[in-house]
Structure 1
Amino acid sequence: MKRRQQSTILQDHIHTYASIYVFVSILFLMGVLFGAFMVNNLSLVQKEDLFTYLTQFFGDMTEGNIASSQELFQQSFFHNNKFLGIMWLLGISIIGLPILFILLFLKGVVVGFSVGFLVNQMKWNGFLLSFVSVLPQNLLIIPLFIFVTVMATSFSLMLIRTIFIKQRTSQPIGPWIVRYLGVLVLAVVVITCSSGIEAYVSPYLMKIVLLTSP
């Protein structure tokens, strides 16, 4: 019974915000593709400099000369919370809606560039490294970014209709605010999980790939 209710709630949510989900998902994918194309536009010197830095980092990782898992967790937790917190606040500001879309696009650029550069420089090993270093935490982070962007956009549009167009909403603004605060709480919980994966799981998988790769 509970599963049916949860399924119905999820279906209703997706149906209600389907158009916004399509828009932000396409925007994010455009960012990923743009980031991947950026790799091909780098000069040879830029690629060599980045690859030298990357090789040094991988060397330090295999020797255990990197930040502790606790430090990595804190860095990831605060960075992602700060980024998503800004996106959440932009939904309240109304005028920050375009910036919200830019931030989501940039997140896609970072993911696309990271994967694209690893594959471009290290071929199959680069694909494996991107699979274990970029994918695990982003399985949570990317859907979260899209979800927060959708909810921030819908909240901002609701404020625009209420304040500027003077359109009566189907329900008072109070429940909207409570729901929007719930989005922030959910984001912190998911970020905690993704930061744990990034700090404790991804480095271990990366070390295995680096030690076993030819």
Structure 2
Amino acid sequence: MNYFILKIANYMKQNIGYYLLVVLILVSGIVLGSFSVGLLSDAQKQELLNYVELFFSNVRNVNIDSSVVFYTSVLNNLKTALVISLAGLFVISFPLIPAVIFFRGYILGFTVGFLASEFGIKGCIFAAFSILPQNIIIIPVILSIGVTGICFAAAVIKNRKRMDKREYLNMTASYVLLNLGFCLFLILAGLIEGYISPVFIKLFSTYI
């Protein structure tokens, strides 16, 4: 396990430029998402607020099935990982990678921005304990898979004239295995989202 973590750390160090690029894309999405909250009409804000308050009301009175939340979280994040991986694998579709990362950041920024805007410091605390824990793992994994996709596509484009079939297959196998390794961390994120975050959601929902 330590060897695997060391390999990932070295990989991130070698591709620091690509990581800075995808982080910039993610941050741009988060910033735009948070600003988008201010563009909502009063009617739209009220509709969303009603939905959130209904959620808080229901979550206080029902038992959250942690196993369902866990499987849903893992499945949704694996779908995102698969889309990014396939976008890099098919090369021509690799511009989809920054689009997915930007959208992921936009949703995160909008969600946190709305909670902060409507509930103030309570909303920030709620977001910190219910959204942040799993995303500490999910975001680096999604960014890393995005980097592998961009690196793979760039390598194929750069070496397309002199790369033989065997080299391509070896590179593809390494690409798939590396992404599978990253995806293992999504299981841990799912455990946090399924079994830890709901505890904080139920706890803080009574104060919002």
Normalised to the residue count of structure 1, the TM-score between the two structures is 0.88
Q: Could you tell me how far apart the structure 1 residues matched to 2:91 and 2:10 are?
A: 25
Matched, 1:203 2:198: yes
Q: Could you tell me how far apart the structure 1 residues matched to 2:100 and 2:5 are?
A: 30
Question: 2:196 is paired with a residue of what secondary structure?
Answer: helix
Q: What do the CA deviations read for 1:94-128 (whole angstroms, capped 9, x no partner)?
A: 11111111000000001101100000000011011
Question: 1:96 is paired with a residue of what secondary structure?
Answer: coil
Show the counterpart of 1:117: 114
Aligned-pair identity in percent equals: 25
The structural deviation recorded for 1:14 is: 3.2
Question: 1:97 is paired with a residue of what secondary structure?
Answer: coil
Residue number among 32, 35, 38 corresponding to 2:33 in the alignment: 35
Q: Could you tell me how far apart the structure 2 residues matched to 1:13 and 1:90 are?
A: 20
Show the counterpart of 2:131: 134
For structure 2, the 5+ residue unaligned runs are none
Residue number among 72, 82, 86 corresponding to 1:85 in the alignment: 82
Cα separation, partners in 2 of 1:5 and 1:53, compared to 1, 3 Å: closer
Q: Could you tell me how far apart the structure 2 residues matched to 1:3 and 1:204 are?
A: 31
Q: Could you tell me how far apart the structure 2 residues matched to 1:40 and 1:23 are?
A: 27
Q: What do the CA deviations read for 1:14-46 (whole angstroms, capped 9, x no partner)?
A: 342121111111011000001000001101110
The structural deviation recorded for 1:5 is: 10
Matched, 1:176 2:195: no
Cα separation, partners in 2 of 1:82 and 1:46, compared to 1, 3 Å: same
Show the counterpart of 1:20: 18
Mean CA deviation greater in 136-145 or 191-200 = 191-200
Residue number among 44, 47, 58 corresponding to 2:45 in the alignment: 47
Number of residues of Structure 1 aligned to a counterpart in Structure 2 = 207
Matched, 1:99 2:103: no
Cα separation, partners in 2 of 1:6 and 1:63, compared to 1, 3 Å: closer
Show the counterpart of 1:61: 59
**Counterpart amino acid of residue 138 in structure 2:** I
The structural deviation recorded for 1:203 is: 0.9
The structural deviation recorded for 1:74 is: 1.8
Show the counterpart of 1:155: 152
CA contact (8 A) 2:144 2:182 kept: no
Normalised to the residue count of structure 2, the TM-score between the two structures is 0.91
Show the counterpart of 2:105: 108
